[in-house]
Amino acid sequence: MNTRPVFLLLKYAGRAMVRAGEGSFVAISSTAAVFSARYLASYSAGKAAVDQLVRVAANELGRLNIRVNSVQPGMTRTAGTAAAFANPAMMKQFLDGQAIPRHGEADDQAHAVRYFAGPESSWVTGQLLTVDGGHTLRAFIDYGSLIDFADQGDPANFA
């Protein structure tokens, strides 16, 4: 769900870029790709796969004047994160774990994408730009302390 759409978009957009003689592809990954984020195993693995796909594609397509990079957002306010932002305790853990104590906004990510897509990065490829307020300098939050997971805790639940 996280990797296949990026692969397919890169495959078909890449063909158009080859025909055009140049291009810049920017994938969206996540800081979950670099954290051991408990309870997010499939998401984290999928985003790590996106990052590796970006690096391999950059290596393969660079000779064709096509750049491939990725933005790794931290917790950013979007429609998809509205439930998380509605949880004050969760947002406090995120802010406490960041060097810059403010929430991420969509424009923070958009500026990073714009950099990779624009001429300012004409000699940049295969890079993963983390835009997270410094969260990856510290540790991922403990979802287990914030959300009741029915299958966690009592070993009898694992029988």
Choice among 12, 43, 115, 143 that is catalytic: 43
Separation of first and last alpha carbons in the chain: 30
Q: How far apart are CA 124 and CA 127, in angstroms?
A: 7
The tokens for 75 are 């917790």
| Catalytic status, residue 43 | yes
Map 13-70 to HEC letters: HHHHHHHHCCEEEEEECCHHHCCCCCCCHHHHHHHHHHHHHHHHHHHHHHHHCEEEEE
Beta strand 104-105 with 128-131 is: unpaired
User: Is the Cα dihedral 36, 99, 75, 71 positive or negative?
Assistant: negative
Active site residue ranges: 43
